[in-house]
Each structure stands twice: as C-alpha cells, then as structure tokens.
A = this chain, B = another copy of it.
Amino acid sequence: MRTLLITSHPDMIESGSQQYFLSSIKNQEDITIHHLENLYSKREIDVVKEQELLKKHDRIIFQFPFYWYSGTPLLKKWQDEVLGEGFGYGTRRKPLAGKEFGLVMMIGVAEREYQAGGEELFTISELTKPFQAMANKLGMIYLRPLSVFQFFYMEEEQKMNILIRYWQLLTMEKDISLATREEWLIEQLQKVAEHTTETGTLTFAMEQIQENRVKIDELKMVLDDMFLE
C-alpha cells in the first residue's frame, strides 16, 4: 500500500506539531510526503503531475491545521484545480474510485468544545462533511480521521499515543480493526488457558483464529457459549 500525504500549512516551519509528525515518518518508502506550500510557492499547481501522483497511490491523506473548520487556502486551490472537471467530476470513469481518503487535523481548541452545548457547537464529523462529500463524489473510501486536539498541552505519553495513531492512519491496512481484535482475542484466550484444563479446545481455537481471520467473531461467540455453560 502506497500513501500520499498531502500537507498544507501557511507557515509549516513555525508549526511545531507539523514538524513533530513529519519528522517521525522520514525515509519511509511507502509514504510520499507532498508539501504544497514548498512545491508551489508561486501557487501555480501542475495539475497533470498531481493527477498522475494521485493515481500511483492507494491512500490519500490531507494534513492541515483546522483553521475556521476547514482546509488551507492552497489545499482548496489544489482541490479545485486538480480535482477539476474530467478528473474529480463530470467523468464516467472515476480515476480515484476505491482508493482510501483520510484527514489529519491539528486543532487548537479542546475536544470537549466540539459538540452541541460546547463552544464550537458542532462535532468534527459534522464540520468535516465537505471532505466526506468529496470522498463520496470521487468514489473514495473515507477513513476515520485523526483529530489532534491541543497538541502543545499534551504530555509526552499522549504525544506518543497520537503518533502511533498517525502511523496507523498512514501505513496500516484498513483491516487493522479486525487484526487488532484478533490479537486481543488470542491474548484473552491465553489468559483463560492459564486457569482451565480445557487446553485442547483453546489451542484448537487459537489455531483457527490464526488461520481464518474472517470467522473470528463467530468463533468468539462459540467460545463465549462454551464457557457460559
């Protein structure tokens, strides 16, 4: 899986959070870092080149500061020109269909304010509808976004946690939720194995999980029933 990370920030060098995230993924073969302000300081976007680049990647990520609940001016210009008629819409064949799309947003206000009754009034899911609609129009799969709230108030451990989520969004296949559940379930089974004599059944269950990811939930239900009896 190849990821295109399109970053945009009116003042990237001054942004500590952007630097923190970007420095963590240097020299990764599968990630193309594509910083719009660096590439297009004169704001003349090479539309054909950008479209070719998009086609070569499987996952497209927009990374930007969430000023006024939206992307940056240059990112919007990129959207309007690169995803123009004949590529982004008005064409029967959608060139980006089936690819994945995600957002990484640096947000200055606390998460709790993004809800009815909070100072920002709406949730991040509500405020990012224009991006969801874009992914829909392009036939892309919209991923869970990464919202980084008040990075500078974070403890070191919180920063590391968010960095892991960042790496996951950039590099981990979308079936991670299933794989994670699988790992977690094996761990749980191993704990159970320490306190039961039914080791034969458990060993068999663990082998089955490793062999067959798809049936994991059904298997878990079978095991639940077995231990309930």
Contacts and interface: CB of A to CB of B under 8 A. Distances in A.
Contact of A122 (B70, B76, B127, B132): B132
B69 A80 contact: no
A76 B119 CA distance: 21
**Copies of this chain:** 2
Interface stretch (A133-141, A148-156, A189-197, A213-221): A133-141
Contacts of A76: 68, 70-73, 76
Contacts of A83: 68
Contact of A80 (B73, B77, B79): B73
Interface string A170-205: 000000000000000000000000000000000000
A130 interface: yes
Nearest to A120: B133
Nearest to A69: B130
B127 A130 contact: yes
Contacts of A119: 137
Q: What size tier do the contact residues of chain A reach?
A: 20 to 34
Contact of A73 (B77, B120, B126): B77
A98 interface: no
A10 interface: yes
B129 A127 contact: yes
A47 interface: no
Nearest 3 interchain pairs by C-beta = A69-B130, A73-B77, A73-B73
Given A73-B76, A122-B129, A127-B129, 18 more contacts: A10-B80, A68-B76, A68-B83, A69-B129, A69-B130, A70-B70, A73-B74, A73-B77, A76-B76, A120-B133, A120-B137, A121-B132, A121-B136, A122-B132, A127-B130, A127-B133, A129-B129, A130-B130
